[in-house]
Every structure is written in C-alpha cells, then in structure tokens.
C-alpha cells in the first residue's frame, strides 16, 4: 500500500470521502482494511494543481484486481485515470464522471468485456414486521444452487465461501413451507452504510413478493442498528428499480462498473 505522507492527509481524505459517503463505500472499506493488514492495495489521490489541500479524486486499486475510483471533475480526472490503468485492474467501479473519462481515454485502446450503468440507492425505512431469517450451515446446499443459477442468469463467475458468510451473518433467506425461495446478501459495511446485493428468487417462486420480503428483512436488520441500507442496481433493471422505490429506497447517484480486457 502507498503510505499516506501524514496523519493530516489521511484526515483530509477521510473527510472528503465522508462528504460523498454513498459513492465511496468500497474506498472507505478498503482504506480500513489496509490500515489493519499488509494489503497490496494502492491508494491514489489527485490534488488541485493550484491548491495542495483540495482533492480532485481518490482511488484504491489492486494490481490486476478491483479498482474503486471517485473522481471530482472530468477536466482533471484523466490524470488519475492514466495512473489507475498502469495497474491493469480487471474491474473498475466509478461514477458517471469516471465512466465518461474511461470511454474517452481508455476504451480506444482497451476493450471493455462488459460494463454496467447503475443506480445507487439508499433506504432508512424500518420494516419491523418483516419475515425472514439469517442463513445457517444446513442451508449451504441450497445456497450453492442459488450461486449457480445466479451466475448463469447474470453471466458472472462469482464464488462464495458460504461457511464464512454464514458465520459473519451476511446471508438472509426467506422460506416457504421449509424451502428457501429468496435470498439476499449483505456485503461491505462501514459505520454509516451496509451494502446489500445478490437478490435472487428461484424461478418457480417469482412474482409473489418474496424478493420484497427478504430485502425488507435485511433492511430492517441494518436500519435497526442506526445505519443505512445501500444497494446498487442496473439502471435497465426496471422491475427491480420499481420494487426498491416502492419499498422506500431513494436514488442518490449513478455508478458504473467496467471490466477491461488487456492484451
């Protein structure tokens, strides 16, 4: 990890990120991790050329891994973008500003295998009557089935250590007559936000409100701790967006995920 020069700079970066907290859940989480372990993450930051105390962008990037990038303005974002691409990240999570810079600077020479435009949504509503439960070890067979079907439907290659996730209370399920029919996962956590994702209902049980039930259960667990539920959903997934808005989620910004392919 690139060491921060001073404690004051770390404070400056933390305050800058805090004012944009819903955009930078990934950055915040990995900054916390790199303070505790000997991680290979690099912290990149861009300052205004005319003001050494004014940040214009922050990124954390793992070489040939994931990059979380939060640029301030497009006019200077190209400077940090070039440095990011030197690490050849396989996945870049950024804002619409970062997306536009990537498309103008990077795409002409690096092909994007796939890319998504997404809404960032937050919820502080309580669901005290929500039904569901946290997954336990006896659910792993069904969770493996969920992972396989989820990956096929979304054309991804995700893998999960279900034993660890269950121990960390990261998987919520909804049952019908003793059978798990809908699942949601909780991911990155900060002192303000908890991300949820991987929402999935098995095909035979769709259009019956089970996804709403399991999401409500997860949101209630999060909000009851004084934090905010945070999710990212593809903009073109109109059914999911409509569901989340109906439940009380609010769109607060846009996110972009791109998967570059290098020669």
CATH number, domain containing residue 165: 3.40.630.30
Residue 33 included in any domain: yes
Lowest model confidence (mean pLDDT) among 21-35, 51-65, 130-144: 21-35
pLDDT at 39: 52
Is residue 56 scored above 70 in pLDDT?
yes
Residue 261 included in any domain: no
Q: Helices 25-36 and 7-18 sit at what angle, rounded to 10 degrees?
A: 150
Task: Record the tokens describing residue 88, joined without a space.
Answer: 């050849």
Q: For the chain, how big is the Rg over CA atoms in Å? A: 19
Residue 117 included in any domain: no
Residues 140 and 239 in one domain: yes
Residue 263 included in any domain: no
Residue 115 included in any domain: no
Q: What is the pLDDT of residues 132-182, one digit of tens each?
A: 999 999 999 999 999 999 999 988 788 899 999 999 999 999 999 999 999
* pLDDT range class, residue 40, cuts 50, 70, 90: low
Residues 248 and 155 in one domain: yes
pLDDT at 123: 97
User: With contact defined as beta carbons under 8 Å apart, do 81 and 101 qualify?
Assistant: yes
Where helices occur in the chain by DSSP H, the ranges are: 7-18, 25-36, 74-86, 96-101, 140-154, 162-167, 210-223, 238-247
- For residues 97 and 80, give the distance between their C-alpha atoms in angstroms, rounded to a whole number: 12
Of the three residues 109, 141, 170, the one that is the final residue of a domain is: 109
* pLDDT range class, residue 246, cuts 50, 70, 90: very high
Average confidence (pLDDT) over 85-106: 90
Average confidence (pLDDT) over 96-124: 89
Residues spanned by the domain of 166: 123-254
Give pTM, 2 decimals: 0.85
> Which position has the higher pLDDT, 138 or 61?
138
Residue 2 included in any domain: no
Residue 260 included in any domain: no
Lowest model confidence (mean pLDDT) among 52-66, 141-155, 209-223: 52-66
Residues 245 and 136 in one domain: yes
> Which position has the higher pLDDT, 118 or 24?
118
Total domains in the fold of the chain: 2
Of the three residues 109, 140, 169, the one that is the final residue of a domain is: 109
């Amino acid at each position: 990890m690139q060491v921060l020069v001073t404690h004051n700079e770390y404070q400056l970066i933390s305050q800058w990120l805090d004012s944009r907290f819903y955009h930078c859940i990934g950055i915040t989480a990995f900054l916390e991790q790199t303070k505790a372990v000997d991680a290979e993450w690099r912290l990149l930051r861009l300052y205004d050329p005319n003001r050494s105390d004014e940040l214009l962008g922050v990124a954390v990037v793992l070489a040939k891994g994931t990059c979380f990038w939060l640029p301030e303005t497009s006019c200077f974002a190209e400077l940090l973008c070039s440095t990011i691409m030197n690490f050849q990240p396989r996945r870049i999570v950024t804002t619409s500003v970062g997306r536009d810079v990537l498309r103008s600077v990077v795409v002409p020479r690096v092909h994007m295998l796939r890319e998504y435009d997404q809404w960032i949504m937050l919820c502080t509503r309580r669901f005290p009557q929500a039904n569901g439960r946290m997954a336990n070890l006896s659910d792993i067979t069904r969770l493996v089935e969920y992972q396989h079907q989820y990956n096929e439907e979304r054309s991804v290659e995700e893998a999960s250590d279900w034993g660890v996730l269950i121990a960390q209370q990261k998987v919520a399920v909804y049952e019908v007559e003793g059978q798990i029919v809908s699942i949601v996962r909780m991911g990155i956590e900060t002192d303000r936000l908890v991300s949820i994702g991987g929402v999935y209902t098995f095909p035979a049980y769709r259009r019956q409100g089970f996804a709403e039930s399991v999401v409500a259960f997860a949101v209630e667990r999060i909000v009851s701790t004084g934090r905010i539920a945070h999710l990212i959903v593809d903009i073109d997934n109109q059914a999911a967006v409509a569901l989340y808005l109906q439940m009380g989620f609010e769109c607060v910004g846009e996110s972009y995920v791109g998967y570059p392919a290098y020669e």
